[in-house]
Amino acid sequence: MSKLHVVSNRAPIEVETRDDGGRSIRPTVGGLASALDDAIRRRSGTWIAWTGSPDTLLPDETGLDYPITSVHLSDVEIAHYYSGFSNQVLWPLCHMFLDRCRFQPEFWAAYESANQRFAETVEAVAEPGDLVWINDFHLCLVPGLLRRRTRDLRLGVFWHTPFPPPPIFGVLRWREPVLEGLLGADVIGLQTNDDVRNFLDCCHQFLGHHVGEDPARVVVGDREVRVVALPVGIDTAAFERRAASDDILRQRDRLRATLGAEVVLMGVDRLDYTKGIPERLLGYERFLERHPRWRPRCTFVQLVVPSRDQVEDYREMKRRIDEIVGRIMGTYTVDGHSPIVYLYTALDQERLTAYYGAADTALVTPMRDGMNLVAKEYVACHAAAGDGVLILSEFAGAARGMREAVLVNPYDPEAIGRAIEEAVDMPHGERARRMHALAVRVRTHDIHWWTDAFLSLLAEPMATVPGPAVEAALAWP
């Protein structure tokens, strides 16, 4: 079996320097890291990433079964490649926030340099016939750099964010080298069929390549690059086990008692302008304004995970969220009952699972999202009981396969308010029917399905993993 080398900006561990000059290492929490961890162990590979450490991290130090090969980047490179080009160019571009793009030449120069460093590191550890799985928009140039050096590796890329259509992507000054870099891969995975179509259209319009469908592909010289929609899943079984544990059930019940509400609603988001938090809060405010009977009976828990606090745009967004939360509390608190609880912190998986379980309704309303795993995590935590309502943005990739959710336009607070009304008034039988359908899909197309499907394409050039058929199966189980 060929070795597998996973390449990503971040590693599945966090390295912290202690006061005594030593370092502590702890694993990151997340289904993606766990799934790829399992895939690497089965194929005796490595994980290649920036860790902040100059050394290769060996298993006896990390507790993993394979080494993590560190990519060496300077502080300036990190600032311009990661905080600059990745997060101030590609991130807003892919989410269609053009006004937030900062097209700085020094960002692009650092991005080229960092991608070159990643490619050199891969080349140093990979052997002929190995599989290389490159993850996300931070490393667009790596496949092309490797392709020019060697043709004896199987190269795959998975793009986790949305891929924009030509009128948006075409704004990028460096659109041609980004596309050419991606097309160095043998297989390119995206979240939805819309993303696949957008990518194919960009390759045809900006590079003049012939593109085909069934299967989706781009013809690059004497090669065909396979392009496939494979929506990423979660470790559904792990979430279900955790949600059903006695400890989590006790935490859930304590939360419900503390909140003192007949109906609990919840939102979980990283602090980011793509997540639609202010619009969601305004939608809840509209709901309370129009339905006085629900004011003493509802509590909305909004969890915001801190992110990029040093960036002024993010600080301004937090100020706006604080203002809206304060106004809702001041206006609609009834007899000591607050209609909203605002948590600006990160929760561990156990505590988060308890909150998921306590929530009768989850509001997942990003302005645009590649997939959004919060929606799937909420469903997994309610799958066994068959209750709960999911309100989901129609612009999240997850909406393509979760049609039983209450779909909503995240830009319209009035529509969000109406969706909340629909959720709280939904009959039990209808809630159970919708949740059952969602649970079947989240269980079937979990993180292990996603990993195996992508690796089967990467390992076997003729492997068949249908593109459009995948979404059809997700939408209509």
**Residue numbers annotated as active site:** 160, 369
Q: Which residue has the tokens 């929760």?
A: 347
Check if the beta carbon of residue 193 is closer than 8 Å to that of residue 468.
yes
CA torsion sign for 34, 127, 183, 137 is positive
**Whole-angstrom distance, CA of residue 56 vs CA of residue 46:** 10
* 148 SS3 class: helix
CA separation for the pair 149, 31 (Å, rounded) = 33
Strand spans (E) along 238-353:
263-270, 298-305, 340-344
Q: Which two tokens stand for residue 235?
A: 């470790």
For residue 81, what is the DSSP state?
A: I
CA dist 206 → 177, 179, 449 (Å)? 10, 9, 33
* 263-270 and 298-305 strand pairing: parallel
Sequence-ordered strand ranges (E) for 192-311: 211-212, 217-220, 223-229, 263-270, 298-305
Residues 276, 263, 234, 214: is their CA dihedral positive or negative?
Answer: negative
Handedness of CA 218, 139, 207, 92 (dihedral sign): positive
Query: d(Cα 378, Cα 409) in Å, to the nearest integer?
Result: 20
How many Å apart are CA 111 and CA 328, to the nearest integer?
43
* Residues 6 or more apart in contact with residue 106 via CB below 8 angstroms: 80, 84
> Contact, 286 vs 340, CB < 8 A?
no
Maximum separation of any 2 CA atoms in the chain, in Å? 73
